[in-house]
Structure 1
Amino acid sequence: MNIREHIEEREDLLLSPYAARSSAALRDIDEEPDPLRTAFQRDRDRIIHSKCFRRLKHKTQVYIAPGDHYRTRMTHTLEVGQIGRTVARALRLNEDLVEAIAMGHDVGHTPFGHVGEYALRDLVGHFNHNEQSLRMVEVLEKHGNREGLNLTKEVRDGILGHTGPTIPTTLEGQIIRIVDRIAYLCHDYDDAQRAGMLEAKDLPDEVRLYFGDTPSSMITAMVEDMVEQSLDKPEIRMSPDIEGTMNIFRQFMFKNVYLAPALIPDRKKAAHVVKNLFIHFMEYPSDIETYVERNGIYSTVDIVDYVAGLTDQYAIKLFKDFYIPNITL
């Protein structure tokens, strides 16, 4: 019996009956099992070693061109993974599956975060970052050769279902769906305090009552409630009081941070960059840098894929190259 088989045997012995088993994981293309790693561990490693994952370090979370200590999509992803594993361990669910989903859930995010997502949606009518994350791992990685990373069905299901109408079929995916929201609310509140946009005293009374006023106490309150409400049950849930308070917290953050007037000028500029890059590439598709030779023939989908994959800095560089004259003073 090799190491992977020992790990799979321990999963059968120790995990909850509701946990996903690595030994039962399915891929679209069959592969020889790894002697050391389970299927979900391999998926996690493939995502972490991918280019789309590396680009997250240069993609906006909330603040465009922030300082050193503000979150990016990369640090958000790591925080989701950490919180998710805490919940999974407490519930005796599959930590490796939770981590793999967490590492991949945002790899389809556009430059400038949701601003870029909405800009592309305005242009093409339908664009959601969770669907693009799935497309990234299924199709676009490995140089767009239509093979992708060949991740397991369970990981892909969790990536797609981390937001939007589709609920993940595994409890591990359901963990990420809730933990993603916990992570971004708490760390965006932390960053908003650092930016001088909020103070703890500004929080709604319900939030202070149930969650306290520090990111740590907030995460702890929501995670402990998730564990208490979901332990040995076939679904991941929160109590009505805690879920209701989280929704109040979310509404507060939208009003005071995500849609705050102070951030609107930069967000308009970012949307302008994304939209004009898309327009440029539609007119001059040969300017697209790609690993795949298409003989100069690009569809709208190809251009969406390219623009969505750009980092903030590279999008700004391209915009300057295409639209700003070179002036020597």
Structure 2
Amino acid sequence: MSETASYASQPEQTLGRLYGTGPSPTRSEFQRDRDRIIHSTAFRRLQHKTQVFLHHEGRHFRNRLTHTLEVSQIARSIARALRLNEDLAEAVALSHDLGHTPFGHAGERALHKVMTPFGGFDHNVQALRVVTRLENRYAEHDGLNLTWETLEGILKHNGPLIDSDGRPVGRYEREGLPSGLAEIPAVADLRLSSHASLEAQVAAIADDIAYNAHDIDDALRAGLVRLDDFGDAPMAGAIVREVQSLYPGVVAKRQTHEVQRRMITRAIEDVIRTSAANITASGVASAEDVRSAGRTLVAFSPEMAVAEKGLKEVLYARVYRSEAVMRPVRESEAVVERLFEGYMQTADMPDRWAQAMKSAETAEGRARIVADFVAGMTDPYALDEHQRLFDARPEFR
């Protein structure tokens, strides 16, 4: 990796970890974070968690793990071009979905619904619970003992949670701050009103780039749409027409791949150009300057941002809200709700979790334990548990 810029996060300047560790002769602090994440149980479980299409439907659809790996690759590419710390960008990208439930966003909505009386459910906060509390592999502590910078990136890669006056911003303005923020163990305050590092901002936009491209590919594999259906779509339409003109006799599968890779390349190049100009114009000279810059610096150009938003609207209308997707979504939401209510009533859970339920002193404490347990499930395990508890197994057909 080439020398990083002054505004990049420097591993030797990290605020550190909650539990001290000796120096590594071969790895930086952010490389150690990346490796701890990859070797975690929660990371492996991503291979059996839904992205958009239920994992067991076949056809090589993306799951949370393959999506995460694609985000990581895109994040490293952008970070390298901007002379940022690739290892921190990768660590945040690899961990950004560790708090997701089984059955994709459907499971998250269901868990938030049943947890509303107990403070709600937020997948970014849940990811922090995973890496600071729920992973239990180390002899000396719970969690992965990640650096402050990685924890900050997990929590704030989509931007600050509050403004300088302490008022919630963005979606939190509507929903209120998620429960559990005060309980996150970190070596220093995570500073909810500041922006995260450029590396975390890179991970966030890499997420958008990845799922826009691969959701088109998966929708085509599922037979929900044809490539021609995107001929008038923002961001994708011009590329579809270009590919069909260049390769008119090539089968649709190859045309789709050409569209996908061109979309990713052009989005990445747009982000690099725009972000480099934003960084220069802002005058930031350090990672701390980035946090106090008052705005997100890693971004699409205005034209690409409009097109990207328009493509999302097309995907929602033609893919995410199609009956073929919504039918299993509704059933999977019901599975998560039933599991939650069942465990709340019986605490019929594996020993570690059952013991925690016995020790919980409040209904909110019990609910959070159940939410932790359900959120960590893979799709198949959730279905197995539903079969065990209710003698019924949804087919999602």
Q: TM-score, normalised by structure 2?
A: 0.75
Secondary structure of the residue aligned to 1:28 is: coil
1:43 matched residue in structure 2? 33
1:271 matched residue in structure 2? 333
Query: 1:53, 1:104 within 8 Å by CA — same for their partners in 2?
Result: yes
Deviation, 1:281, is: 0.5
Q: How does 1:229-308 map onto structure 2 within 5 Å?
A: 229-231=274-276, 233=279, 234=284, 235-290=297-352, 293-294=355-356, 296-298=358-360, 299-308=366-375
Mapped partners of 2:154, 2:20: distance in 1 = 20
In structure 1, what residue type is equivalent to 2:142? E
Mapped partners of 1:68, 1:289: distance in 2 = 37
Secondary structure of the residue aligned to 1:294 is: helix
2:234 matched residue in structure 1? 206
Q: How does 1:112-151 map onto structure 2 within 5 Å?
A: 112-125=103-116, 126-142=120-136, 147-151=142-146
Query: 1:157, 1:168 within 8 Å by CA — same for their partners in 2?
Result: no
Structure 1 unaligned spans of 5+: 1-9
The answer to whether residue 61 in structure 2 is matched with residue 70 in structure 1 is yes
Mapped partners of 2:83, 2:264: distance in 1 = 20
Query: 1:56, 1:74 within 8 Å by CA — same for their partners in 2?
Result: yes
2:48 matched residue in structure 1? 58
Change beyond 3 A, Cα 1:325–1:286: closer
Mapped partners of 1:171, 1:212: distance in 2 = 32
RMSD: 2.2
Equivalent in 187, 194, 199 of residue 214 of structure 2:
187
Equivalent in 90, 93, 99 of residue 102 of structure 1:
93
Secondary structure of the residue aligned to 1:206 is: coil
Give a deviation string over 1:178-200, Cα, whole Å, max 9, x none.
11011111111110011111222
Give a deviation string over 1:230-267, Cα, whole Å, max 9, x none.
12615212210011101101111111111212211111
Change beyond 3 A, Cα 1:267–1:98: same
1:32 matched residue in structure 2? 22
Structure 2 unaligned spans of 5+: 162-193, 242-258, 285-296, 361-365
Q: How does 1:152-231 map onto structure 2 within 5 Å?
A: 152-163=147-158, 166=161, 168-203=195-230, 204-208=232-236, 211-212=239-240, 214-231=259-276
In structure 2, what residue type is equivalent to 1:38? S
In structure 1, what residue type is equivalent to 2:82? L
Query: 2:8, 2:199 within 8 Å by CA — same for their partners in 1?
Result: yes
In structure 1, what residue type is equivalent to 2:339? L
2:387 matched residue in structure 1? 320
Change beyond 3 A, Cα 1:211–1:139: farther
Mapped partners of 2:318, 2:44: distance in 1 = 30
Q: Identify the range of structure 1 (127-136 vs 115-124) with the bigger mean alpha-carbon deviation.
A: 127-136
Give a deviation string over 1:290-310, Cα, whole Å, max 9, x none.
378437334111111001100
Mapped partners of 1:135, 1:146: distance in 2 = 14
Q: Identify the range of structure 1 (22-31 vs 44-53) with the bigger mean alpha-carbon deviation.
A: 22-31
The answer to whether residue 6 in structure 2 is matched with residue 17 in structure 1 is yes
Change beyond 3 A, Cα 1:85–1:212: farther
Deviation, 1:161, is: 2.2
Mapped partners of 1:325, 1:269: distance in 2 = 12
Query: 1:140, 1:146 within 8 Å by CA — same for their partners in 2?
Result: no
Q: Identify the range of structure 1 (134-143 vs 209-218) with the bigger mean alpha-carbon deviation.
A: 209-218
Query: 2:234, 2:308 within 8 Å by CA — same for their partners in 1?
Result: no
Deviation, 1:288, is: 3.7
In structure 2, what residue type is equivalent to 1:156? L
Determine which structure has greater relative contact order: mean sequence separation of CA pairs < 8 Å that are 6+ residues apart, divided by chain length.
2
Deviation, 1:147, is: 3.0
Query: 2:348, 2:354 within 8 Å by CA — same for their partners in 1?
Result: no
Mapped partners of 2:159, 2:320: distance in 1 = 19
Query: 1:210, 1:245 within 8 Å by CA — same for their partners in 2?
Result: no
Mapped partners of 2:43, 2:237: distance in 1 = 37
Q: Identify the range of structure 1 (209-218 vs 101-110) with the bigger mean alpha-carbon deviation.
A: 209-218
Query: 1:229, 1:238 within 8 Å by CA — same for their partners in 2?
Result: yes
In structure 2, what residue type is equivalent to 1:140? L
Q: Identify the range of structure 1 (202-211 vs 96-105) with the bigger mean alpha-carbon deviation.
A: 202-211
In structure 2, what residue type is equivalent to 1:242? M
Change beyond 3 A, Cα 1:219–1:207: same
Q: TM-score, normalised by structure 1?
A: 0.89
Mapped partners of 1:240, 1:226: distance in 2 = 11
Q: Identify the range of structure 1 (307-316 vs 143-152) with the bigger mean alpha-carbon deviation.
A: 143-152
Mapped partners of 1:32, 1:239: distance in 2 = 43
Q: Identify the range of structure 1 (226-235 vs 15-24) with the bigger mean alpha-carbon deviation.
A: 226-235
Query: 2:356, 2:369 within 8 Å by CA — same for their partners in 1?
Result: no
Query: 1:78, 1:103 within 8 Å by CA — same for their partners in 2?
Result: yes
